[in-house]
A and B are shown apart, each in its own frame.
Chain A
Amino acid sequence: MKSNLSKARRLFLDPPYKPGSTAFLHAQPFDTWRLDFALEDGEDAEVELQPQRIEARLDAHLAMMGLSEPRKIIWTSVYRPRSVTLPSYRRGRVFFAGDAAHQTPIFGGRGLNLGFADVINLTWKLAYVLNGQGHDALLDSYDRERRHVVRNALIDLAQSTIFMSRPTRGAALMRDAALQLSPTESFVHDLFDGHRAPKREGISLGGTDDKDPPKGAFTGNPLPDAALQPATGGSGSSVFLYDLLSQDFTGLYFSAQGKVPDSIQRFFAQMKDKAPFRSIVVGQQNETGAHADALDPDGAASKKLEAADGAFILVRPDSYVAGQWDELNSDQIATTLFSNLGRGAP
């Protein structure tokens, strides 16, 4: 169906053509729209899948929206929201990812994103182990890290799932109450909008979840991106922090003057010899003889990353922060790097 509707996801609660029910409208690529109708208790899925029943629902819904554009149905099926996860995402040489590992309800739009994040977490580890840069223990961290994120996502989506699916009479009553309040009481909106639910992407980098709170503001979380300037010329042009990352571990060293002490340069060279590691120096200015790879003239990136002069951030190939230090601590950094490779002491 061609339509000028904006691409926003639309949620219809208590539509007049079917009071008490729920429907979703999602924009898809190529003038395609996905419309989800909730089946109520007593409604038979096979009956409701009959073309004339679907046409009737569709007509009523589009009429409610004031849409009369020509349309063609290209796919129908029954979808059952599930909140499930495997107890382990690794079994020997087999790794489970995406829908094979977990199924999340559609109410927060997490399923595809979690699947991509699984693959991003796993692929660099597989590559490292296959080419000898990481030990097999590194692969176990895939299961620990991703199940932690998925479990949190299922918890975060539980409220909107209960709201949408109304599994009990009590849940249906509370939903009716919240809906009746929603025009005047904005606090109830958080109860039904899964997109407003928290998105916890943090992982536990230790052996046991949450036993050792990570140090540093972003440790265990994706590195926030930030705009920088090229160190050489190009005034007015910008480069983003993520453009500087690579398939290696990246050490971000923040230096106000853009200079790196000899001892730290030696440390960076040692790390490069022992592990897939490269250093990036972020300076507020690049004095003569300085080493900055990128500039942060107004200090906005440093402030965003909570990285003052002398701070160091170790970033994994999947852009997660492995560790963050206010001052470069070579022993801790080396230990953290090797731990993240599944190796023992450096």
Chain B
Amino acid sequence: MNSAMTQTATRQSAVEHAFRLLAKSLDQVGEEKAEVFLAKIVLILANTVNDPVILEDAVRRAVPLPE
């Protein structure tokens, strides 16, 4: 595999891992606490990423906002 393919595979693996981990965690916390659980995840990731542009881009892609 070349470098680009390796990176794509690694990213796909990370996304798949996050998908499964979040699905499992959401099942564990239950519907009532799901929203605040996801909000906590976002705050922690925002602190880790430390880049408002990346966060804003993610929010717009997840929930298209009116221009």
Residues of B within 8 A of A177 (CB): 36, 39-40, 42-43
Main secondary structure of the interface of B (DSSP, over half): helix
Residues of A within 8 A of B36 (CB): 173, 176-177, 180
Are B47 and A180 touching (Cβ within 8 A)? no
Instruction: Tell me the bound Cα distance from A173 to B39 in angstroms.
Output: 7
> How near does chain A come to B9, taking the closest CB pair, in angstroms?
32
Nearest chain A residue, comparing its CB with the CB of B41: A177
Instruction: Tell me the bound Cα distance from A308 to B25 in angstroms.
Output: 60
Instruction: Tell me the bound Cα distance from A177 to B34 in angstroms.
Output: 11
Nearest chain B residue, comparing its CB with the CB of A174: B39
Residues of B within 8 A of A173 (CB): 35-36, 39
Stretch at the interface among A52-60, A129-137, A181-189, A294-302: A181-189
Number of interface residues of A (CB under 8 A): 10
Residues of B within 8 A of A187 (CB): 47
| A178 at interface by CB-CB < 8 Å | yes
| B55 at interface by CB-CB < 8 Å | no
Instruction: Tell me the bound Cα distance from A180 to B35 in angstroms.
Output: 13
Are B44 and A181 touching (Cβ within 8 A)? yes
Residues of A within 8 A of B43 (CB): 174, 177-178, 181, 185, 188
> How near does chain B come to A170, taking the closest CB pair, in angstroms?
9
Residues of A within 8 A of B35 (CB): 173
Are B39 and A185 touching (Cβ within 8 A)? no
Instruction: Tell me the bound Cα distance from A251 to B40 in angstroms.
Output: 53
Q: Would you list which residues of chain B between 21 and 39 have a CB under 8 Å from chain A?
A: 35-36, 39
Residues of B within 8 A of A178 (CB): 43
Instruction: Tell me the bound Cα distance from A253 to B47 in angstroms.
Output: 45
> How near does chain A come to B66, taking the closest CB pair, in angstroms?
15
Instruction: Tell me the bound Cα distance from A187 to B47 in angstroms.
Output: 7
Instruction: Tell me the bound Cα distance from A177 to B44 in angstroms.
Output: 10
Residues of A within 8 A of B44 (CB): 181, 185
Instruction: Tell me the bound Cα distance from A187 to B40 in angstroms.
Output: 12
Instruction: Tell me the bound Cα distance from A18 to B63 in angstroms.
Output: 33
> How near does chain B come to A167, taking the closest CB pair, in angstroms?
16
- A sample of 7 inter-chain contacts (CB < 8 A) reads A173-B35, A173-B36, A173-B39, A177-B39, A181-B40, A181-B43, A187-B47
